[in-house]
Amino acid sequence: MPKPTDSDKQFFRSLIPEAPGVEVKPMFGSLGAFVNGNMFAGLFGSSVGVKLAANDLAELARIEGAEPFGPAERPMGGYLSLPSSFTAEQATLWVNKAKAYVATLPHKQKKS
């Protein structure tokens, strides 16, 4: 499993908006960004992945460099990796779309 560098983690954190219900947590040696307990963005190696509504997912898939997110043998459904050619501004736009979409989903209940 590819490990993100400190620079990758810093870049990922810079993309995540400060908003109520949003938090960044460690996940399997990497980072995930959550809103209301549901993950909307993640870091896998140096790849930033986002969970999007079907129409936004289709739009992102048409952009050169967008790829399945996660391990090649088992990518995460509903997520795509942002193209590595994206500027921070472009990446932030898609991370914000992901946050807005995932914020509409039912709040995840903590396991007891």
Structure tokens at 33: 């960004």
Instruction: Give tens-digit pLDDT for 65-110.
Output: 999 999 989 999 999 999 999 999 999 999 999 999 999 998 887 7
Position 20, amino acid: P
112 confidence band (pLDDT: 50, 70, 90):
low
Q: Quote the mean pLDDT of the chain.
A: 94
What values do phi and psi take at 66, rounded to 5?
Answer: -75, 135
**27-31, 44-48, 82-86: which has the minimum mean pLDDT?**
27-31
Contact criterion met (CB below 8 Å) for 79 and 69: yes
**Sign of the CA dihedral running 35, 40, 43, 44:** positive
pLDDT at residue 92, rounded to an integer: 97
If one compares 52 and 1, the residue with the highest pLDDT of the two is 52
pLDDT at residue 1, rounded to an integer: 73
Average pLDDT over residues 50-71: 96
Instruction: Tell me if the pTM is above 0.75.
Output: yes
pLDDT more than 90, % of the chain: 86
Neighbouring CB atoms inside 10 A of 112's CB total 3
Residue in 8, 30, 7 with CA at minimum distance from that of residue 82:
8
Q: For domain 6-102, which architecture applies? A: Alpha-Beta Complex (3.90)
pLDDT at 111 over 80: no
Extents of the domains making up the chain: 6-102
d(CA 37, CA 35) in angstroms, rounded, equals 5
Contact criterion met (CB below 8 Å) for 8 and 76: no
Residue in 48, 61, 53 with CA at minimum distance from that of residue 92:
48
